[in-house]
Structure 1
Amino acid sequence: MSTNKTNSSIVDQRADPFVYKHTDGYYYFTGSVPTFDRIEIRRAKTIHELQNAKTFDVWHKHNFGPMSRHIWAPEIHYLDGKWYVYFAASEEDDIWKLRPYVLECKGQDPLADEWIELGQMQAADDDDKSFIDFSLDGTVFENKGKRYFCWAEKTGGQFAASNLYLAEMESPIKLKTVQFMLTTPDYDWERIDFWVNEGPAVIKNKGKIYITFSASATGACYCMGLMEADEDADLLDRNSWKKSRYPVLETNYDKKIFGPGHNSFTVNEEGKPISIYHARDYENAVGDPAVVPESDKRSLEEIIADPLYDPNRHARVMEVQFDETGKPFFEFY
């Protein structure tokens, strides 16, 4: 089955989709559930079979304290012979105190074996800036024998800019180097309603490493940009990176694809690279009271006006194309 169906979802009501194709031939899928209260994993032999695959709740939020609210953007990775999930969470008493956390599976079957909490992602010993403020959307990738962690973090409070940071990893739970700011919202398309760079994802091609990221608020203005560097360059050097001047993926009104972003990369059944992203099929998001926690005491009108609680960001798929220089580009068909 072709994966070029950008107008149809592969998993309904799952934002921030992440797909990992394992050596067993299965696709493992996770993403933000609309209630933001648990981590769910499913697997299938093909991308489009994920829609109806059985779901497994492998972890639930705490009732209070750290990891008790806003369970967002989980990613599943297989590192050093073990399964890990990276996700962001806040607290019931401080709902914007987002921090990155890590789970580890005690066995080789991530759907059936026990998952344990490893706690918050740890900064390097000489880094006093990472993960001290609103931090989320961590992803892991390897390049030239080194493993890196890339994440979004606001500095200066809830309404400050969300930047992307990059650091080398010492272990699956700890950074080896101090944070390096990869990108900050520079352009108008990154500053609509909120100044945001978030949701990084990595793809390599023809000696280059590319990091897509999402920008602006989560409505129809949400879009994707692109960073690029040579694979042989020092990835923790600002001069190694070039940023796209314009979005590489944005709302398409004709095709009714609104707010595309927060993607991940994998390959389809034929081995061709694909992008898994989320989008709505209508422009104006409306909060659904049914997915809001009981502890949220806002009025009905306030909840309806909150786009975060619109459950209809669906996971979709798109084949990744490359131009003559090897740079990826993204088109709706």
Structure 2
Amino acid sequence: MSKLTYTTPLIIQRADPYIYRHSDGYYYFTASVPSYNRIEIRRARTIEGLAHAAPRTIWRKHNEGPMSQLIWAPELHFIDGKWFIYFAAAETTAFDENGMFQHRMFCIECDEKNPMESEDDWIERGQVHTPMDSFSLDATCFKLNGKLYYVWAQKDPDIKGNSNLYIAEMKNPWTLKTPPVMLSKPEYNWETKVFWVNEGPAILHRNGKLFLTYSASATDENYAMGMLTCDENKDVLNPQNWQKSSTPVFQSDITHHQYGPGHNSFTVAEDGKTDLMVYHCRNYTNIKGDPLYDPNRHTIVKLFTYNNDGTPNFGKPVPYSNL
């Protein structure tokens, strides 16, 4: 097995991390900033280089309106020759009648070859609308057989809990083409600790299968990752084709003081083939106030392997080496 390792944590105080390796040879990184007031990108030729790369702010929250508060979990995608960022935003920090934040999903677009060039290069495509006008966030996308699919987390007022996972085909990167289909809802004990949550989906396409990881429960030490699996030749819009793991695939490791790992993404190492998981984690449980406002969820990158049946084996969270 490869001995490949990276500084841990790689980037401090960056939750919901997303790393994308582009055809220009650069790694691009974006994540939630602790102040939740902007979107920034950094890039480097190596993953380790991201730790020292200067972040560039490419979009700032509005002074008022639906994109004026709590900018969460940006993801950077390159689709059909253009750059897109999905993120969640709210009009207020207040809770709605269900006791939840009021986020909706939004998309911005950039034509430029270098998405870090200027804030002026990004245009707002607005809200990504779904049939339910409710709390929604953590959008990602993937292509399969020439079709673009959108996966996200959303509250259904008729289902207990904060959010479920949905999928739909897209007409374009900011418009759904098909009705949403629910793939998963919080149901197991490890998904319903403190809060009933399924969120932060990420797609890994390997070994003839699609693996959809997600995060569940409260964002403290209870946060853990689950996984859905679908054969690449099956209809991904049919929930019957997705098999859900009944146990977490990645969770807190008390021995090494790693708590609440989750909201992951996937990338590949500099060799172009070694798969890596990117996630955030804390090294303590004594959190003052709401865990969402504790800034010390740090970005970590780790190698993972595969089991004999081709499913990913994420192992355990990596102990901190430089804090």
TM value normalised by structure 2: 0.92
1:43-80 CA distance string (max 9 Å, x none): 01111111110110001101111111010000000011
For residue 262 of structure 2, give the secondary structure of its aligned residue in structure 1: strand
The one-letter amino acid of 1:192's match is K
What is the CA distance between 1:239 and its match in structure 2?
Answer: 1.2
Is 1:230 the equivalent of 2:231?
yes
Matches of 2:286 and 2:191 in 1, distance apart?
Answer: 19
Which residue in 2 is equivalent to 1:245?
A: 246
- Equivalence map 1:164-175=2 (5 Å): 164-175=165-176
Give ranges in structure 2 of 5+ residues lacking alignment.
Answer: 96-100, 319-323
Is 1:307 the equivalent of 2:291?
yes
Matches of 1:133 and 1:159 in 2, distance apart?
Answer: 14
Matches of 2:93 and 2:229 in 1, distance apart?
Answer: 39
Aligned pair partner of 2:102 in 84, 97, 104: 97
Is 1:118 the equivalent of 2:120?
no
CA spacing shift, 1:202–1:87, aligned 2, 3 Å: same
Which residue in 2 is equivalent to 1:197?
A: 198
Which residue in 1 is equivalent to 2:185?
A: 184
For residue 102 of structure 2, give the secondary structure of its aligned residue in structure 1: strand
Matches of 2:265 and 2:231 in 1, distance apart?
Answer: 20
What is the CA distance between 1:157 and its match in structure 2?
Answer: 9.0
Q: Percent identity?
A: 47
Which residue in 1 is equivalent to 2:85?
A: 85
1:134-169 CA distance string (max 9 Å, x none): 000000111122110000001229983310000011
Which residue in 2 is equivalent to 1:301?
A: none
RMSD over aligned Cα atoms: 1.7
Preserved CA contact (<8 Å) 2:70 2:93? no
Is 1:24 the equivalent of 2:6?
no
Aligned pair partner of 2:308 in 324, 330, 333: 324
Q: How many residues in Structure 1 have an aligned counterpart in Structure 2?
A: 308
Preserved CA contact (<8 Å) 1:134 1:158? no
Which residue in 1 is equivalent to 2:98?
A: none
Matches of 1:2 and 1:85 in 2, distance apart?
Answer: 33
What is the CA distance between 1:19 and its match in structure 2?
Answer: 0.5
What is the CA distance between 1:92 and its match in structure 2?
Answer: 2.6
Matches of 1:314 and 1:221 in 2, distance apart?
Answer: 16
Is 1:47 the equivalent of 2:52?
no
Which residue in 1 is equivalent to 2:66?
A: 66
For residue 24 of structure 2, give the secondary structure of its aligned residue in structure 1: coil
What is the CA distance between 1:240 and its match in structure 2?
Answer: 0.2
Preserved CA contact (<8 Å) 2:92 2:102? no
1:230-268 CA distance string (max 9 Å, x none): 000011112101001100000001111110000000101
What is the CA distance between 1:88 and its match in structure 2?
Answer: 0.2
Preserved CA contact (<8 Å) 1:10 1:315? yes
Structure 1 range deviating more: 306-315 or 148-157: 148-157
What is the CA distance between 1:94 and its match in structure 2?
Answer: 4.8
Matches of 1:69 and 1:219 in 2, distance apart?
Answer: 22
Preserved CA contact (<8 Å) 2:151 2:166? yes
Matches of 1:172 and 1:223 in 2, distance apart?
Answer: 29
TM value normalised by structure 1: 0.89
The one-letter amino acid of 1:152's match is A
The one-letter amino acid of 1:44's match is A
The one-letter amino acid of 2:198's match is N
Matches of 2:159 and 2:47 in 1, distance apart?
Answer: 36
Aligned pair partner of 2:113 in 108, 111, 115: 108
Which residue in 2 is equivalent to 1:281?
A: 283
Preserved CA contact (<8 Å) 1:65 1:93? no
Is 1:208 the equivalent of 2:209?
yes
The one-letter amino acid of 2:205's match is K
For residue 221 of structure 1, give the secondary structure of its aligned residue in structure 2: coil
